[in-house]
Every structure is written in C-alpha cells, then in structure tokens.
Structure 1
Amino acid sequence: MDYTPVPTVVPSTPFDVSADSQALRGAMKGFGTDEQEIIDILTARTNSQRQQIRQRYEAEFERNLIDDLKSELGGKFEDVIVALMTPPVEYLCEQLRAAMDGVGTNESTLVEILCTKSNEEMHEIVAAYEDKYDRPLAEQMCSETSGYFRRLLTLIITGVRDPIGVVDADKAKNLASELYEAGEAKFGTDEEVFNRIMAHSSFAQLRLIFEEYKELSGQTIEQAIKHEMDGEMHEAMMAIVECVQSPAAFFANRLYNAMDGMGTDDETLMRIIVCRSEIDLGTIKDEFERIYNRTLFSAVTDSETSGDYKRVLTALLGGA
C-alpha cells in the first residue's frame, strides 16, 4: 500500500526568530505567565525553528529558554513543552533511558521506539545515546531484557536491517518459506529465524515477504505470530508487521490504547503526538478516525487530560 506521511506541524513562514524570542520572554516576564502565547508559538514552529529560537533567546537575554520555561510551567504541560524544545533524536534517547531506568523495564516503550525505525534512524539514535549517556544503548538494553526479545532488539540496535527500499522478489519467496517452516510447519517455534528475517529485511522487503507468506500458508503473518508467540516477543513482532503495513495504523492504535480505560498513559500520548507531529500525525489522525469512527481530536478532548496540557496536545493535532 502507498504510505503518504502528512505532518501537522510544518515550518512557519514567514519566520521571525527575534520576534518569537521576545514574545516568549514577554510571556514569562513579570507577574503570571501567558501560557496560551507559549502554546501558540511553540506548536506552530518545527523543532529546527524552536532550536533557532532557543539560541536567539540565549543570545538576546543571556538566559536559558528551557530553564525559564521549567521555572514558569509545571506538570504534564511542562513535560510537553520541554519535549517540544528537545531535538527529536535526543528526546527519543531520553525516552529509551527512562524506559530502562529504575526497577523494571517498560518493554512496550522499547518496542514502540526501536521496532518502528529504519536502519538509518537507528544509527542516529545509537550514536546520540552513547554521546549523551556515555554508555552503548545495546549494552544497557541487554542488561534490562532477556531471551529472544533481547536478541531481536539487539539485532535492530546493531543496525543489520537492509537499507530503505531494498527489495528482492525471489528472496521474498524463500524467506516466506523459512518463516513458514520455522513456525506453522513445525512443533514449537524457531524464534531465531523470525528474529533474523524481521530484523534484517527492509520494510519494503518485509511487505513482499508477508504477501508471499499468505500465498504459501493461507494465513496472514499476523495470524501466524499470534499462534506462535506471546508476551513481549508477540508485541515486538506485531509492531514490526504493523509498521511495515501501515505506520499510521500502528501509532493510531497506540494512541487509542493510551487513552482507553481508567487513566491516561500520558508518556505514550505525549511521545507519539510530539514525535510524529512533523512526520505523519495528519495521516495518523485519518487512520484513527477510520479505525475508531471518531476523531483523534475528540478522543484527546474527552480523555483525562486537562488545562494547558490538553490545549498543547490539541494544538499539535492541528485543531479540530
């Protein structure tokens, strides 16, 4: 299927970095804070433009913009604004670190960030992570996960996936056959084979492999994975499959689950809306409405978010 990524945040034109810098200073100076002004400026600029504002702010006022924002804001609203002000790759590194920090590991966050990336994106994250934390991402991840799940993530982090667009039709037939032999055609599952194929093939190649698999077995790859795997391996494999077929549907489902039931998974909600706003949040909105028969805007509005936090999320969605 053709995948057309539509962002909700695009470069602001005309862009007056000095005017934005002064407006932000004005919004935080004196008694009280003009939160709406901060939302209006930062949600209508790309991350690259926000970095320029940050530099200009420092040069003009000899103050750190992020420190000023933190001192004026609080709670989830502060978290989203700081996320918007952080370079995207650095923000993902922080999210990975938080998922592995302390007692227990948030495997779901690791899956969402690592299993959805191309090799090129993965290289950037790996380099930035070691630069920021002085520890290889693979090393920390290995100490926090185990078994075949750890091996799959290690392959992905090591960057063994073929470059974007690499496709070989004959090879797709052979690999589909290998998946069939490693799963449905035998008693038990050979996870090593699934790991190797899912972590090495480009997303375009995987799409072809999944089509060949259906031809061969009469079942979809999703049905096979459901029968063969459970727990975090199942979640990781399904994340790869969904991102191969429709990244927008994968993230739409993640957003729905983040708001479903009691309470809201704010970390996931925030991360996806911030990270995808300049990539494909417009496409994710369309998929959300197609799958759940309601708009993503209304889902966020009706969720347990509130106040400025809710306002900044809906602004990033591009309004109703």
Structure 2
Amino acid sequence: MSYPGYPPSDGYPAFPGYPPTGQESVYPPAGQYAYPAVPGGFPPSGGGTYPAAPPNAGFPGAAGYPAPGGYPPAGGFPGAPQAGGMPPYPGGSGFAVPPTGPGFGGYPQQPPAQSYAGGGPAQIPGFPGGQVPSPMPGLPAAVVQCTQGTIQAAPNFDAGRDAEILRKAMKGFGTDEQAIINVVANRSNDQRQQIKAAFKTMYGKDLIKDLKSELSGNVEELILALFMPSTYYDAWSLRHAMKGAGTQESVLIEILCTRTNQEIREIVNCYKSEFGRDIEQDIRSDTSGHFERLLISMCQGNRDENQTVDYQKAQEDAQRLYQAGEGKLGTDESCFNMVLASRSFPQLKATVEAYSRIANRDLLSSIDREFSGNVERGLKTIVQCALNRPAFFAERLYHSMKGAGTDDSTLIRIVVTRSEIDLVQIKQMFTQMYQKTLATMIASDTSGDYRKLLLAIVGQ
C-alpha cells in the first residue's frame, strides 16, 4: 500500500534530533508507576520490608508471604473473602481502598495501607467480560507495573552491515523477505533510522523507496511503519485519520488520549513541521461539540505529571464528578473534561476508587450512562489508561481481529507503537482477558510474510 505524499520526492523526511539520544525507549517517565503516597508510609508500621517472593507466587499463603511483622493480619482482613484473596483493583497499586458497590463484592472500606492485592480479577464494566485482571496474579499490581517492550536495541549493532544485508535481500530477481524481517524486527527504532542513513550513504539510494518497490500490501505498510520515527508515525497516523472524506475518530482517541505530555507536544510540533498544518485547526474542522473540546484539551500536553497522589483532592474530584453526572438531571460535560484532561493518571486512579464509594457505581459505568458516541469513548479511554493502560491496548488489539475480517491498520499501529514501550505487559493482559495468546490470534488472522513479521515483533 502506498502512502499519499509519503515519502517526499527527496526521500524520507529529515527528522533532526529525533529520537533524542538515549530517550527513545524511556517510557513511562521515571516514577510514573511508583507507589502512591500513603499516610503512614509503606509498608505499614511493624510490617518490615516489602517481602521478596517469587514473581508467580500466590498470595496469601505462598512462599515468601506473609511479610514479617504480621502483614497481612492473621486470618486476613475483616470482611474479605477467605478463599482466593481479595480481587485487586485493575492496574492498581494494591494499596488503595478497594471500591464498593455493584461488581466489587462489597468489600469493607479499609485504610489505604491495609488493603492488598489478591489473585482474582476485578469486575469492571467497560472491559471485555467486565474483567481487568491484575498484571501478575498474587502480587500487588504496582510491583509489576514496570513497562517493557518486546523489541530492545540490538547489541553489537552495525548500521552498515545491516544496510548491506537489506541491499542484498532486494538485489536481483526476487526478494529475500526473511532476511528483511530478521533485521527490522530485531532493531530499535533509533537503530532503523541509522540503517536508513547508512543505506543512502553506501548505495546512493533511498531505502524506503527500495522497500516500497519490493513489497506490497500489509507487509509493506508494516515495514514502512517500523522505519518511520516514532513521533512521525503518530503524527502521520493522525493526519491520515483526518485527511479526505470522513474521520477515523478511534485513531484520534487512541493516540491523543494515551500519550504522555512530552509525546503529545512532540507529535503536535511534528504535525506542524512535516505537514505544514495546525493540528488543532484540523481537529476543529473534523470534529465538533464535547468530543472536539476533549481532543483540543489532549493536544495541549499539559496533564499534571506529579506522581504523588492527593487523596483529599481525589475525594473532592469524585464528588464533583458525581454532582456533574449521576447526582443531577442532565450532565455537566465540562466538569468531566476538566478532571479527566488535567489530573495525573495515578491521581485519576485514586479518583475512580473514591467515585465508586460515593456513587455506589464505578466511573466507567457512569460515563456509559451520561455520555454517548465519540466523547464517551474518549473519556473511557482516559479512565481505562489510568486503571490499566496495557489492558486498554489489549482490548483494542482483540477487537481489531475479532469476527470477520481484520482491522490491519489498527493491528499494525498498536504493535509498532507499543513494541518498545509495554508490549510485554499488553501480551500478558491479552492472555488473561481472552484466555488465548496475542500470537495465537495474530497467527489465525494473518498470513505469509505479514504474519511472520508481526509474530517476530511480538516476540513469538
């Protein structure tokens, strides 16, 4: 498949200074998934240090648990089920107050430092089957919420040698697709940019043009996506979603509602420099109403990134959201926009937990009841990312392949953009949510070199 107007006639667009040296895989920002501040500190007084336990150990009762000092208390927490432990709040730190209300089992409210994560999934409307399991059964979710990509920078990297391999794979009659796959699926995005530069230096030819002439269909789209600098690919995807007749709103939501402040600011700047257009103006031309306002808010890249959770503010925001929706006739959409667009993701998670206690209903359910269409999907995406970002992308991948046909553009975009960030965690979530591996579903929905390259990227 060809991309209109891409690459430019003089080859791939120069993208000075991107990705920043040493920064291409530093995501999320350091400390993003650190434990929230808990009054009294963690572990609780008398609890000793956090217990070392095998990663897959069950809790409670597995080797290494409970921690010295009587944590959790003998016999479990008052009111908690004795068999199987307390379901964790999805993506949660394991130290926040477990929500009450429909779908949450009515666990009693405990002080933040006293609740714990057990092995079962929590019931959350808005996720497939209403379940978002903890990333690793038996451990508090925050312990395992470090992110990891399936693609790492190759050791002993030699851009010239890789350029030579690719040249040989495309020279003469026929194409050695496997040789191309072996290189592109095992190099970081930064290394692919170096290969591209080395290829032009060594052969006086543009690697992207040569690849386009040798490949076709989905495998061409996938390989070209891999060779785009990460920020450019996001900007290109947004431009493509708004170009021509119709708008792909799901693409706008997926990118603008899930990226970090720095990523969004770089995308907005790249959109301007590469396409000569203002992204806000394009959004205003292609969307309207509350959905337009939400996307414009996202484009600012000004979400609070303070990782310390203010539980008092979470309570106040939860009350504010309740009064703006469930607690009144009609909906104050601007209040939802303000809270969900500006608070940090750890802060939003605490707000979601406080909301379930105030409203006796979880926030995703309330958004379902109060909103519809694209703005509903946008707001729910923000909440889902606050609770469990890998689970959000796992759900998107599942629906790209579910049923007749495959949404190849979505499949390609998520696999490529998360391959150096959190695709390992996305794979774990996918297996827990759908009882099948991501690789199994890819293998059954794709074929040929396209299938081989996708499987190589997801680490299969």
The TM-score, its normalising length taken from structure 1, stands at 0.97
Give the corresponding residue for 1:241. Answer: 383
Q: Which residue of 2 aligns with 1:119?
A: 261
Check if 1:220 corresponds to 2:354: no
2:301 maps to 1:159: yes
Equivalent residue pairs, number: 318
Q: 1:17·1:56 contact (CA, 8 Å) conserved in 2?
A: yes
> Which residue number in structure 1 is paired with residue 159 of structure 2?
17
Aligned to 1:315: 456
1:59 maps to which residue? 201
Which SS does the other structure have where 1:225 is aligned?
helix
**Which amino acid in the other structure matches residue 68 of structure 1?**
D
Partner of 2:179: 37
Unaligned runs of 5+ residues in structure 2 are 1-91, 93-141
Distance in 2 (CA, whole Å) between partners of 1:164 and 1:293 is 36
Do 1:118 and 1:164's aligned partners in 2 also have CA atoms closer than 8 Å?
Answer: no
2:211 maps to which residue? Answer: 69
3-state DSSP class of the match of 1:246? helix
- The Cα shift of 1:258 comes to 0.3
Greater relative CO (CA pairs within 8 A, separation 6+)? 1
- Paired residues for 1:159-308 under 5 Å: 159-165=301-307, 167-303=309-445, 305-308=446-449
Q: State how far apart, in whole Å, the 2-side matches of 1:121 and 1:50 are.
A: 20
Residue 257 of structure 2 aligns with an amino acid whose one-letter code is C
Asked if the contact 1:120/1:163 (under 8 Å) is kept, the reply is no
Give the aligned partner of residue 149 of structure 1: 291
Task: Tell me if the contact between 1:176 and 1:210 (Cα under 8 Å) persists in the aligned partners.
Answer: yes
Residue of structure 2 in register with 1:89 after alignment:
231
Structure 2 length normalisation: TM-score?
0.68
Q: Is the 8 A contact 1:164 1:203 kept in 2?
A: no
Counting aligned pairs with the same residue, the percent is: 44
The alpha-carbon deviation at position 169 of structure 1 amounts to 2.2
Shift of 1:166: 5.2
Q: Which runs of 5 or more structure 1 residues have no equivalent in the other structure?
A: none
Q: Could you tell me how far apart the structure 2 residues matched to 1:16 and 1:159 are? A: 36
Q: Match for residue 244 of structure 2?
A: 102
In structure 2, what residue type is equivalent to 1:265? Answer: D
- What is the identity, as a one-letter code, of the residue corresponding to 2:452? R
- Tell me the CA shift for residue 164 of structure 1: 4.9
1:138–1:158 contact (8 Å) kept in structure 2: no
Q: Deviations over 1:225-265 (max 9, x none)?
A: 11111111111111111111111100000000000111100
Compute the displacement of 1:4 (Å).
Answer: 2.2
**Hey, what's the Cα distance between the residues in 2 that align with 1:181 and 1:118?**
29
Q: Distance in 2 between matches of 1:302 and 1:246?
A: 27
Deviation at 1:55, TM superposition (A): 0.8
Q: How far has the Cα of 1:13 moved from its partner?
A: 0.8
Q: The residue matched to 2:193 in structure 1 has which SS?
A: helix
2-side partners of 1:158 and 1:8: how far apart?
A: 30
| 2:278 corresponds to 1:136 | yes
Counterpart of 1:158, as a letter, is: Q
Q: How far apart are the structure 2 equivalents of 1:234 and 1:166?
A: 28
- Following superposition, the deviation at residue 184 of structure 1 comes to 0.4
